[in-house]
């Protein structure tokens, strides 16, 4: 039986679809078109074919930013996953008050990324930053300005990663925890009877069971890390000497500081294409769309 | 054996408490700094806790910037955009989920892809569009853009909720003579309340926390709190005290709401991931 007529379905669908087309899909299409033009300050356009794309991959293009983005993703997501897993295993245990502790753990989850960035900028400043003060007290560094977190090319990207890790590890923990809680407890019980130790239990039983959740969480985080803007902008604005500049930052800078709309669009198109491809490939292995539609 | 387990458990509980406290230190530090006198925030060497409590930073914050105006802008744009995204998104998602057509698979994938698109890359054309429409530096521009950007998220969340509602329910309502709109309004939506709540809270926070869109689309009239807060970095470079006070003021309501509505947040984060 056909429940809802096509007309009504369309009626339900259209307002949202039109709205999204006008303010989300239309901009994307104009961006793709813009990427083939060189657009001057006054808005005069000249068709340049693939020149913007070639520029992006040539020397002085966005290869450095691409590398930074990849490094950022690997460090931030890698550490988050490790710590998140550890936390999840701790919080999985049942005891009085574990819900309360878990709630507090989730506090950073909803903080604005900008605020997280500003917080860490304050903590990592060279002379009055609490991080260096702590490191000095512990004896890791000799002098409170030995590590210039935000002003040294070696450290700036890592500093941004740390802020990101602080902000989003709770998310990772939450996802893994959800996976762990959904698992069948009899498996753990059975393994205990078989005399399996704690580590074996984690690596051979728990991890395989939560693998799908873990992979989904990873893919969400990889994409989020790739598009991080606020944290880096708050902490370093991509500096010093573009050492912490990621693709998001360079696109924004190209648009606002150098006013090169064509080139910015070309970079954005490449960026979106990569992320969408990643999403589709990653999701397809986990998630079957046919299953979703009844 | 059992005793050993008990001790192990106690150690683990202790560790998890310590870990949590450590994790919250940055935020506690910001709160401490916001209640320090201005000079103590940038004192060398820094102290964690304020030596004397002071509201100097809050006074500085209110004097130097239009805090109230920024907060109002943030609040209005967040709430209005959330309502638009929620209404249009939940309707469209229902249509996609119930149509059963081949096209709907494509649409679901499209929604997912739109959800993954980085804001930083689409702000370029959005900026042009908003300027063309003459909406630059208005609240309407922010409301429209937030609603459009967050709609895929609403749809994604709602899709997984609709899926859990059997079509027999629609059928029953239909047989009883309800129109489609009535079915949606009186049968489907009440069941989806948790889903709607999840989508609402999330979208609200996404819009409230946004920085990039507001940075690009506003200058004076519609400036939101995040942009105002970032202003402390350049214009008043060493005014870190008021900045902390602002950060505290801005994020405290979010904390309070997220602690109270945690159930929905957990649902939103794990939506579609666990049920897969």
How far apart are alpha carbons B242 and B233 in whole angstroms?
Answer: 11
Residues from chain B contacting residue A26 (CB–CB below 8 Å):
125, 129
In contact, A175 and B270? CB cutoff 8 Å: yes
Beta carbons of B120 and A252 less than 8 Å apart: yes
pLDDT at B84: 94
CATH placement of domain B65-235:
1.10.3720.10
Q: Phi-psi category of A97—alpha, beta or left, where left has phi over 0 and alpha has psi -120 to 50?
A: left
A293: nearest CB among B89, B100, B212? B100
- Among all chains, which residue has been given the structure tokens 């309340």? B193
Are the CB atoms for A267 and A254 separated by under 8 Å?
Answer: yes
Convert the pLDDT of each residue in A21-71 to its tens digit: 888 889 889 889 988 988 877 777 888 888 888 888 887 778 889 999 999
Which residue in B1, B212, B247 sits closest to B126, CA to CA? B212
Tell me B237's DSSP state.
T
Residue A42: helix, strand or coil by DSSP?
coil
User: Could you tell me if A82 lies within 8 Å of chain B, comparing CB atoms?
Assistant: no
Q: Which regions of chain B carry the CATH code 1.10.3720.10?
A: 65-235
- Contact (CB<8Å) B92/A10: no
Instruction: Domain ranges for chain A, please list them.
Output: 79-245
CB atoms within 10 A of CB B184: 22
- Mutate which: A11, A14, A15, A16, vs B, most B CBs within 10 A: A16
Residue pairs between chains A and B whose CB atoms are closer than 8 Å: 307
Cβ(A253)–Cβ(A238) under 8 Å?
yes
Of B46, B184, B216, the CB nearest to A130: B46
Backbone phi and psi for residue A38, each to the nearest 5 degrees, phi listed first: -105, 120
For chain B, state the CA radius of gyration: 23
Residues 57-76 (B) with a CB less than 8 A from some CB of A: none
pLDDT, one tens digit per residue, over A181-203 is 877 778 778 887 887 887 888 88
Q: What is the mean pLDDT of each run of 10 residues along chain B (276 residues)?
A: 69 83 89 84 77 83 86 94 94 85 80 84 85 90 92 88 83 81 84 86 90 88 88 68 88 86 76 48
Residue B136 CB contacts under 8 Å (≥ 6 apart), including other chains: B130, B217, B219
**How far apart are the C-alpha atoms of A197 and A185, rounded to whole Å?**
16
List the structure tokens of B11: 């150690």
d(CA A189, CA A186): 5
What is the rounded CA–CA span in Å between residue B154 and residue A49? 37
Nearest CA in chain B to A3: B171
| Shortest Cα–Cα distance, A71 to chain B (Å) | 18
Q: Does B2 touch chain A (CB under 8 A)?
A: no
In which band, very low, low, confident or very high, does the pLDDT at A137 lie, cut at 50, 70 and 90? confident
Contact B250 A112 (CB under 8 A): yes
Q: Which CATH number fits domain A79-245: 1.10.10.10, 1.10.3720.10, 3.30.1360.120, 3.40.50.300?
A: 1.10.3720.10
Instruction: Please give the model's pTM, rounded to 2 decimal places.
Output: 0.87
Element at A237 (helix H, strand E): none
- Strand runs labelled E in chain A: 37-39, 45-47
pLDDT reported for residue B275: 43
């Amino acid at each position: 039986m056909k429940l809802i007529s096509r007309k009504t379905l369309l009626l339900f669908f259209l307002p949202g679809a039109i709205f999204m087309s006008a303010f989300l899909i239309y901009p994307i299409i104009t961006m793709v078109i813009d990427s083939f033009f060189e657009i001057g300050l006054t808005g005069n356009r000249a068709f340049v074919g693939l020149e913007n794309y070639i520029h992006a991959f040539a020397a002085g293009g966005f290869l450095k930013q691409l590398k930074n983005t990849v490094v950022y993703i690997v460090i931030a997501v890698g550490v988050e996953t490790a710590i998140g897993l550890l936390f999840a295993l701790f919080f999985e245990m049942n005891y009085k008050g574990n819900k309360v502790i878990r709630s507090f753990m989730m506090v950073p989850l909803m903080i604005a990324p900008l605020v997280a960035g500003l917080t860490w900028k304050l903590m990592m400043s060279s002379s009055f930053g609490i991080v260096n003060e702590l490191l000095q007290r512990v004896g890791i560094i000799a002098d409170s300005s030995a590590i210039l977190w935000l002003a040294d090319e070696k450290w700036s990207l890592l500093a941004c990663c740390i802020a990101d890790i602080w902000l989003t590890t709770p998310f990772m923990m939450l996802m893994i925890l959800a996976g762990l809680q959904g698992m069948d407890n009899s498996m753990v019980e059975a393994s205990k009877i078989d005399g399996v130790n704690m580590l074996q239990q984690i690596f051979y039983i728990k991890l395989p069971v939560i693998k799908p959740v873990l992979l989904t969480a990873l893919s969400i985080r990889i994409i989020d890390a790739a598009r991080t803007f606020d944290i880096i902008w708050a902490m370093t604005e991509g500096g010093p000497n573009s050492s912490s500049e990621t693709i998001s930052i360079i696109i924004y800078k190209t648009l606002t500081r150098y006013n090169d709309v064509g080139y910015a669009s070309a970079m954005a198109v490449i960026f979106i294409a990569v992320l969408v491809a990643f999403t589709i490939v990653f999701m397809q292995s986990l998630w079957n769309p046919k299953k979703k539609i009844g | 054996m059992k005793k050993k387990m008990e001790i192990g458990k106690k150690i683990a509980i202790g560790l998890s408490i310590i870990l949590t406290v450590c994790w919250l230190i940055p935020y506690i530090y910001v709160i401490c700094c916001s209640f320090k006198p201005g000079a103590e925030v940038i004192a060398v060497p820094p102290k964690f806790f304020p030596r004397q409590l002071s509201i100097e930073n809050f006074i500085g914050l209110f004097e130097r910037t239009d805090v109230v105006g920024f907060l109002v802008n943030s609040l209005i744009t967040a709430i209005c955009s959330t309502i638009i995204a929620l209404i249009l998104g939940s309707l469209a998602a229902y249509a996609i989920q119930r149509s059963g057509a081949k096209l709907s698979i494509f649409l679901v994938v499209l929604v997912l892809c739109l959800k993954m698109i980085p804001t930083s890359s689409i702000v370029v054309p959005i900026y042009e569009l908003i300027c063309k429409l003459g909406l630059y530096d208005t609240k309407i521009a922010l409301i429209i853009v937030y609603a459009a950007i967050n709609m895929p998220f609403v749809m994604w969340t709602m899709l997984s909720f609709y899926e859990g509602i059997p079509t027999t329910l629609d059928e029953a309502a239909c047989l009883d003579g309800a129109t489609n709109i009535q079915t949606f309004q009186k049968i489907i939506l009440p069941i989806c309340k948790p889903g709607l709540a999840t989508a609402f809270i999330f979208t609200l926070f996404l819009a409230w926390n946004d920085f990039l869109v507001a940075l690009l689309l506003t200058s004076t009239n519609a400036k939101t709190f995040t942009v105002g807060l970032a202003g402390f970095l350049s214009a008043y470079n060493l005014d870190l005290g008021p900045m902390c006070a602002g950060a505290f003021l801005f994020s405290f309501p979010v904390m309070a709401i997220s602690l109270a509505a945690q159930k929905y947040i957990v649902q939103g984060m794990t939506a579609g991931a666990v049920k897969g």
